[in-house]
């Protein structure tokens, strides 16, 4: 009995540690560049165009950015990251309804392709919060933005997702 | 007395002459001060994208570059834009710049590295940096012409290179800067030359006279016409400055043909002959354009390059003699070989698409704007898919006629017809559309303008209505059974007894079997059980816009719809229940570079992703085992969901099929409905199959994604019960959350423990 007590204590400690890790450590939010080498040829080419779009957004060249995202869709219209990048683009432009429409698409694809990582979900929630903020739905927006900030303070701490943070 | 008469006559003549001059002046002002040129609007396809992994042979890279006017050079040394060199397993191509107000592309010198039939890498030259993807310029598809079929690209005088102006003046009107519209020295010289030659060998007209002739007069050679020309030339010179006259001339002058379209102006000619804008012409190229003014077809460099080069050199010589070109420039230009752009005739593949676009555009723009204002309309059309669609439809209809020679007729109005439309389901972009067999004989677009009974291709909407949870519970699951026994329905027109295609009935059939065999009676029963109004509501929600009467025969596709509507509604299923807005236009740009319209991708979730997946899964079964199984006959691999349709007396043959990337709808029939004598699976399916085989190379990409929450279970097909260990039959089936069958195979309480165990395992899978 005595021998089993330390073992139980160790197990309890490990469980607590695991719970702590799950509950409090920041979640890694994926970047498009990390995903640019996976998938098939079409996905990779599409991701390269998303990267070019994000780069254009970083430099304030919005028309070029949008054009790049649209070409990315032309190659692979099932790539959820294009819709996510477009949603971010529209949030930045203050066009909330377009942002929400693209977010729906991104979430549906992430979900159906079983690629919904916790990090991607944080981006979706954060962007939805930012879009709802623009729409004037402050309560719902605050909850989503706070949740994103808690999960990924390094990225969502300021309540925004810049093009470079997604790139 | 005589004096008064003469004075009176002189007064009358003077008055009449003054009236004529005033009228001519009015004409001159009206033309110069109003719209000088009518410039047809042009339509372009979507830009092709090259990227590593692309099968360049199947893509037709060589043809695509040729259609864009890229010319093969002998060496890659200092390769100018618009030229390419094939170097074994490498293509060096200097892509031209694409000029667009919001999404321009710079000229880009690249090397495309090939490995077998695939592009393995694309590198910038000389940096060697690998690039992910490059865009080719959008291909021109056609233009909207007014009464006259002529094309021009307007250029401002400031955009025209000095050497082009010098070349034109040197050969056509060397004293342009100093004369007042008529050059008497030139006229005298021309008369002398013509007398010596004994024929009309040289003209004496100034640029101003040529312009007046083209603007206002007919080409006849009469004294009256020449007099009017002279007076009008003087009026033009009196009212407008030399720059305005020269600019008008450079935009008006006829410079050759592109197929049946007349090419006017140096801007358009620069594109026709050299594949570049006028401001990028070299001295030698300017010389050639000036050289062919005299007789654009006779001296055409495509028809007679030697004669064209000789005349070009004469122009260069004149430029030197008149001090417009120095000796070094002359030598350099004279030694420049003739480097023409590849001939790019309008193919006419996309005429139905252009008409559809025109109908859409006239909702916003007037016909005059479209035919006169030189808009640039960038569309979503995929030139390669359009070409394949045109070919397979033409060949497919021919093949049906070969199999059923009775259908052949020489009367174009009674010929077997068909249409093929292709959409990208996720974005709703219209990628290809062929509205009929031969545009020359019939411009009626059977994809967007015809309303035909869809027959069994309507049935999936009934099954969607059945699978969609209403009041929390769906009417059916994929493990349900339907009653296919004889049925009689009372209607205002008397009793209606739906029959199956083969005339046989089945008491009880599984949902999958019912749709895979396209059973009519079971489907009508399901529609009644779900509620006909619910079926109508689902079809409309998915994208059907034509009126749908809620009558029992609706379930069998008796309400008329267009193939484009069917494509849109199936696209909603293919994109997981999110309905995209159909898009055919990317943007519209005016002559000044302003963007008049820009597309917005719009989506709306109209169906739960799970229900869309179950419907797609049913249609996958139709393509694997059912009436559409013929899609695999040619070895096509990859995910396909499809449905056949055949209406009464085989008047309409349909085939709808989609992959994760494309949806294509084929319709075959006669404009005045009569029997084709074939089912949709025999008439329309082969056309769809060939389209997919040729566009994909035989392997379709991806998979239909299964949304989270969809439960997968083994069932016993004969009972629809969950198949446990020991059950003699198994089939994998999919269910919305909470709709798993509650019976088990083998049945009995003894299996409760196993079911609990399976439930626990499923929970673990879903939650950990």
The interface predicted TM-score (ipTM) is 0.79
Domains of chain B in start order, with CATH, are 35-49+350-409+416-450+562-587+597-701 (3.40.710.10), 52-132 (3.30.2060.10), 149-334 (1.10.3810.10), 455-559 (3.40.710.10), 711-767 (no CATH)
Per-residue pLDDT of B502-529, as tens digits, reads 899 998 999 999 999 999 999 999 999 9
- Two structure tokens written together for B696: 């994909």
Residue B641 has pLDDT above 90, yes or no: yes
The confidence score (pLDDT) of residue A20 equals 45
Average pLDDT for B237-256: 93
Burial class (CB in 10 A: 0-12, 13-18, 19+), B585: buried
Region of poorest pLDDT, from A152-161, B92-101, B622-631: A152-161
Residue B375's φ and ψ, nearest 5 degrees, are: -70, 150
The confidence score (pLDDT) of residue B345 equals 59
- Two structure tokens written together for B434: 């062929």
Residue B448's nearest CA partner among B349, B556, B352 is B352
Between CA B372 and CA B143 the distance in angstroms is 11
Cis peptide before B126 (omega within 30 of 0): yes
- Is B372 in contact with B38 (CB distance < 8 Å)? yes
Region of poorest pLDDT, from A47-61, B310-324, B693-707: B693-707
Average pLDDT for B229-237: 89
Within 8 A of B600 by CB-CB distance, chain A residues are: 98
Contact between chains at A64 and B600 (C-beta distance less than 8 A)? no
Within 8 A of B708 by CB-CB distance, chain A residues are: 111-112, 114, 116
Query: What is the band of B29 on the pLDDT scale with cuts at 50, 70, 90?
Result: confident
Within 8 A of B594 by CB-CB distance, chain A residues are: none
- Write the CB contacts of A33 (distance below 8 Å, at least 6 apart in sequence): A51, A167
Region of poorest pLDDT, from B145-149, B314-318, B569-573: B145-149
Q: Say yes or no: B730 contacts chain A, CB-CB below 8 A.
A: no
Q: Say yes or no: B121 contacts chain A, CB-CB below 8 A.
A: no
Between CA A145 and CA A125 the distance in angstroms is 7
Between CA A165 and CA A30 the distance in angstroms is 9
Average pLDDT for B91-107: 91
Helix (H, G, I), strand (E, B) or coil at B68: coil
Residue B543's nearest CA partner among B523, B524, B518, B561 is B561
- Write the CB contacts of B242 (distance below 8 Å, at least 6 apart in sequence): B176, B177
Between CA B440 and CA B425 the distance in angstroms is 31
Contact between chains at A77 and B47 (C-beta distance less than 8 A)? no
Between CA A163 and CA A59 the distance in angstroms is 9
Average pLDDT for B21-42: 81
Residue B96's nearest CA partner among B344, B319, B262, B328 is B344
- Is B85 in contact with B76 (CB distance < 8 Å)? yes
Residue B254 has pLDDT above 60, yes or no: yes
The confidence score (pLDDT) of residue A15 equals 54
Query: What is the band of A22 on the pLDDT scale with cuts at 50, 70, 90?
Result: very low
- Is B583 in contact with B601 (CB distance < 8 Å)? yes
Q: Say yes or no: A41 contacts chain B, CB-CB below 8 A.
A: yes
Residue A42: closest C-alpha in chain B: B53
Query: What is the band of B36 on the pLDDT scale with cuts at 50, 70, 90?
Result: confident
CB count in 10 Å sphere of residue B501: 13
Between CA B231 and CA B25 the distance in angstroms is 9
Average pLDDT for B164-190: 90
Residue A110's φ and ψ, nearest 5 degrees, are: -60, -40
Helix (H, G, I), strand (E, B) or coil at B331: helix
Per-residue pLDDT of B120-163, as tens digits, reads 999 999 888 998 899 999 999 999 988 778 888 889 999 999 99
Per-residue pLDDT of B445-462, as tens digits, reads 999 999 999 999 999 999
- Is A71 in contact with A49 (CB distance < 8 Å)? yes
- Is B374 in contact with B41 (CB distance < 8 Å)? yes
Highest-confidence segment of A11-20, A25-34, B662-671, B694-703: B662-671
Within 8 A of A44 by CB-CB distance, chain B residues are: 51-53, 132
Give the strand pairing for B376-379 and B41-44. parallel
Query: What is the band of A1 on the pLDDT scale with cuts at 50, 70, 90?
Result: very low
Residue B278 has pLDDT above 70, yes or no: yes
Query: What is the band of A3 on the pLDDT scale with cuts at 50, 70, 90?
Result: very low
Region of poorest pLDDT, from B94-108, B217-231, B245-259, B635-649: B217-231
- Is B351 in contact with B439 (CB distance < 8 Å)? yes
Testing the interface with B: which of A43, A46, A67 to mutate, by most B Cβ within 10 A?
A: A67
Within 8 A of A112 by CB-CB distance, chain B residues are: 576, 609, 613, 705-708
Q: Say yes or no: A45 contacts chain B, CB-CB below 8 A.
A: yes
Testing the interface with A: which of B98, B131, B133, B734 to mutate, by most A Cβ within 10 A?
A: B133
- Is B705 in contact with B713 (CB distance < 8 Å)? no
Within 8 A of A102 by CB-CB distance, chain B residues are: 601, 603
Q: Say yes or no: A77 contacts chain B, CB-CB below 8 A.
A: yes
Within 8 A of B612 by CB-CB distance, chain A residues are: none
Q: Is the dihedral of CA A79, A85, A86, A87 positive or negative?
A: positive
Residue B47: closest C-alpha in chain A: A71
Mean pLDDT of chain B: 90
- Concatenate the DSSP letters of all residues of B225-272 into one string: HHHHHHHHHHHHHHHS-HHHHHHHHHHH-EEEEETTEEEEHHHHHHHH
Query: What is the band of B2 on the pLDDT scale with cuts at 50, 70, 90?
Result: low
- Two structure tokens written together for B373: 């204002």
Report the residue from A49, A77, A104 with minimal CB separation from B605: A104
Per-residue pLDDT of B41-58, as tens digits, reads 999 999 999 999 999 999
The confidence score (pLDDT) of residue B550 equals 95
Q: Is the dihedral of CA B69, B70, B75, B77 positive or negative?
A: positive
Distance between first and last Cα of chain A: 56
Residue B458's nearest CA partner among B565, B298, B604 is B565
Per-residue pLDDT of B370-385, as tens digits, reads 999 999 999 999 999 9
Tell me how far CA of residue B167 lies from CA of B170, B175, B252, B744, in angstroms. 5, 13, 16, 91
The confidence score (pLDDT) of residue B157 equals 94
Q: For residues B283 and B224, which has the higher predicted lDDT (pLDDT)?
A: B283
Residue B566 has pLDDT above 80, yes or no: yes
Within 8 A of B660 by CB-CB distance, chain A residues are: 78
Between CA B367 and CA B476 the distance in angstroms is 52
Average pLDDT for B273-280: 89
Q: What is the DSSP letter of B46?
A: P
- Write the CB contacts of B327 (distance below 8 Å, at least 6 apart in sequence): B320
Contact between chains at A40 and B601 (C-beta distance less than 8 A)? no
Length of chain A: 167
**Domain at A28-166, CATH homologous superfamily:** Tetratricopeptide repeat domain (1.25.40.10)
Query: What is the band of B188 on the pLDDT scale with cuts at 50, 70, 90?
Result: confident
- Two structure tokens written together for A79: 């790539």
- How many helices, marked H, and strands, marked E, lie in chain B? 24, 30
Per-residue pLDDT of B538-556, as tens digits, reads 999 999 999 999 999 999 9
Q: What is the DSSP letter of A96?
A: H
Rg of chain A over CA atoms, in angstroms?
Answer: 19
Residue B136: closest C-alpha in chain A: A71
Query: What is the band of A89 on the pLDDT scale with cuts at 50, 70, 90?
Result: very high
Q: If contacts are CB pairs under 8 Å, which of residues 24-63 in chain B contact chain A?
A: 46-47, 49, 51-54
Give the strand pairing for B83-87 and B71-72. parallel
Helix (H, G, I), strand (E, B) or coil at B396: helix
- Two structure tokens written together for A17: 């540690």
Contact between chains at A42 and B53 (C-beta distance less than 8 A)? yes
Contact between chains at B102 and A63 (C-beta distance less than 8 A)? yes
- The stretches of B504-629 forming alpha helices (DSSP H) are 511-516, 520-530, 532-542, 563-574, 609-624
Contact between chains at B708 and A112 (C-beta distance less than 8 A)? yes
- The stretches of chain A forming alpha helices (DSSP H) are 4-24, 41-58, 62-75, 80-93, 96-112, 118-135, 138-151, 153-156, 163-166
Query: What is the band of B478 on the pLDDT scale with cuts at 50, 70, 90?
Result: very high
The confidence score (pLDDT) of residue A13 equals 56
Q: Say yes or no: B608 contacts chain A, CB-CB below 8 A.
A: no
Contact between chains at B578 and A104 (C-beta distance less than 8 A)? yes
What is the least distance, in Å, from the CA of A110 to any CA of chain B? Answer: 9
Query: What is the band of B750 on the pLDDT scale with cuts at 50, 70, 90?
Result: very low
- Is B319 in contact with B351 (CB distance < 8 Å)? no
Within 8 A of A67 by CB-CB distance, chain B residues are: 102-103
Residue B599: closest C-alpha in chain A: A70
List the strands of the sheet with B744-745, edge to edge.
Answer: B731-735, B711-716, B721-723, B744-745
Q: If contacts are CB pairs under 8 Å, which of residues 700-729 in chain B contact chain A?
A: 701-702, 705-708
The residue assigned the tokens 């479209």 is B370
Degrees to nearest 5, angle at CA B570 with B564 and B572: 110
């Amino acid at each position: 009995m005595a021998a089993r007590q330390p073992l139980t204590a160790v197990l309890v400690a490990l469980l607590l540690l695991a719970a702590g890790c799950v509950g409090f450590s920041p979640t890694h939010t994926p970047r498009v560049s990390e995903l640019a080498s996976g998938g098939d040829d079409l996905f990779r080419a599409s991701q390269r165009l998303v990267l070019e779009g994000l780069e254009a957004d970083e430099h304030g060249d919005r028309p070029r950015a949008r054009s790049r995202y649209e070409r990315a869709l032309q190659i692979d219209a099932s790539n959820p990251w294009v819709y996510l990048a477009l949603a971010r683009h529209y949030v930045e432009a203050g066009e909330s309804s377009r942002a929400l429409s693209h977010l729906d698409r991104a979430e549906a694809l992430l979900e159906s392709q079983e690629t919904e990582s916790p990090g991607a979900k944080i981006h979706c929630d954060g962007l939805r919060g930012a879009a709802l903020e623009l729409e004037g739905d402050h309560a719902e927006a605050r909850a989503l933005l706070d949740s994103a900030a808690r999960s990924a303070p390094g990225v969502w701490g300021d309540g925004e997702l810049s093009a470079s943070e997604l790139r | 007395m005589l004096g008064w008469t003469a004075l009176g006559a002189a007064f009358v003549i003077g008055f009449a002459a003054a009236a004529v001059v005033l009228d001519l002046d009015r004409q001159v002002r009206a033309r110069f001060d109003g719209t000088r040129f009518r410039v047809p609007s042009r339509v372009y396809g979507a830009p092709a994208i090259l990227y590593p992994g692309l099968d360049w042979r199947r893509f037709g890279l060589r043809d695509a570059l040729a259609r864009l006017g890229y010319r093969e050079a002998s060496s890659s040394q200092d390769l100018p834009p618009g030229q390419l060199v094939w170097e074994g397993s490498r293509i060096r191509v200097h892509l031209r710049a694409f000029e667009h107000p919001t999404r321009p592309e710079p000229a880009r010198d690249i090397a495309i590295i090939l490995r077998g039939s695939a592009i393995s890498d694309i590198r910038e030259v000389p940096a060697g940096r690998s690039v992910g993807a490059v865009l080719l310029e959008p291909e021109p598809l056609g233009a909207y012409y007014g009464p006259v079929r002529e094309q021009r690209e307007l250029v401002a005088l400031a955009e025209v290179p000095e050497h082009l102006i010098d070349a034109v003046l040197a050969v056509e009107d060397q004293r342009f800067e100093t004369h007042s519209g008529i050059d008497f020295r030139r006229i005298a010289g021309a008369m002398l030359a013509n007398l010596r030659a004994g024929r009309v060998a040289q003209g004496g007209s100034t640029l101003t006279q040529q312009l007046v002739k083209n603007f206002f007069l007919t080409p006849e050679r009469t004294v009256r016409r020449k007099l009017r020309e002279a007076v009008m030339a003087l009026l033009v010179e009196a009212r407008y400055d030399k720059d305005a006259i020269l600019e008008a001339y450079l935009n008006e002058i006829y410079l050759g043909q592109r197929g049946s379209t007349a090419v006017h102006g140096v801007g358009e000619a620069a594109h026709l002959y050299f594949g570049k804008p006028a401001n990028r012409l070299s001295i030698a190229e300017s010389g050639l354009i000036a050289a062919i003014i005299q007789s654009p077809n006779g001296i055409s460099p495509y028809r007679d390059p030697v004669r064209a080069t000789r005349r070009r050199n004469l122009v260069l010589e004149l430029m030197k003699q008149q001090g417009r070109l120095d000796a070094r420039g002359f030598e350099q230009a004279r030694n420049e070989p003739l480097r023409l752009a590849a001939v790019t005739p309008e193919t006419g593949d996309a005429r139905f698409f252009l008409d559809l676009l025109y109908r859409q555009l006239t909702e916003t723009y007037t016909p005059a704007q479209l035919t006169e204002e030189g808009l640039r309309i960038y569309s979503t059309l995929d030139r390669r898919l359009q070409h394949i669609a045109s070919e397979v439809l033409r060949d497919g209809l021919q093949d049906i006629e070969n199999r059923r020679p009775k259908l052949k007729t020489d009367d174009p109005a009674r010929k077997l017809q068909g249409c093929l439309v292709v959409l990208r389901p996720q974005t709703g972009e219209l990628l290809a559309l062929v509205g009929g067999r031969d545009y020359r004989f019939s411009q009626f677009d059977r994809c967007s303008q015809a309303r035909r009974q869809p027959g069994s291709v309507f049935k999936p909407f009934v099954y969607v209505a059945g699978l969609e949870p209403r009041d929390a519970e769906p009417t059916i699951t994929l493990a349900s059974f339907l009653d296919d026994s004889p049925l009689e329905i009372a209607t205002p027109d008397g009793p209606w007894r739906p029959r199956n295609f083969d005339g046989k009935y089945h008491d009880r059939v599984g949902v999958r079997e019912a749709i895979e065999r396209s059973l009519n009676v079971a489907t009508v029963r399901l529609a009644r059980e779900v509620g006909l109004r619910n079926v109508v509501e689902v079809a409309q929600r998915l994208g059907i816009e034509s009126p749908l009467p809620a009558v029992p025969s609706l379930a069998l596709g008796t309400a008329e719809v267009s193939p484009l509507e069917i494509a849109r509604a199936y696209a909603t299923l293919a994109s997981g229940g999110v309905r995209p807005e159909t898009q055919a236009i990317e943007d519209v740009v005016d002559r000044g570079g302003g963007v008049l319209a820009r597309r917005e991708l719009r989506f709306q979730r109209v169906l739960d992703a799970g229900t869309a997946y179950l419907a797609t899964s049913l249609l996958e079964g139709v393509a694997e085992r059912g009436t559409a199984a013929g899609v695999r006959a040619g070895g096509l691999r990859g995910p396909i969901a499809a449905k056949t349709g055949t209406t009464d007396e085989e008047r309409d043959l349909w085939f709808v099929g989609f992959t994760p990337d494309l949806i294509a709808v084929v319709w075959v029939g006669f404009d005045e409905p009569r029997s084709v004598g074939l089912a949709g699976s025999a008439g329309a399916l082969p056309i769809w199959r060939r389209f997919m085989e040729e566009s994909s190379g035989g392997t379709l990409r991806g998979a239909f994604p299964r949304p989270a929450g969809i439960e997968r279970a083994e069932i016993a097909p004969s009972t629809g019960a969950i198949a446990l260990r020991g059950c003699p039959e198994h089939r994998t089936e999919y269910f919305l959350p909470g709709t798993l069958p509650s019976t088990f195979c083998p049945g009995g309480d003894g299996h409760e423990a196993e079911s609990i165990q399976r439930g626990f395992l499923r929970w673990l899978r879903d939650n950990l």
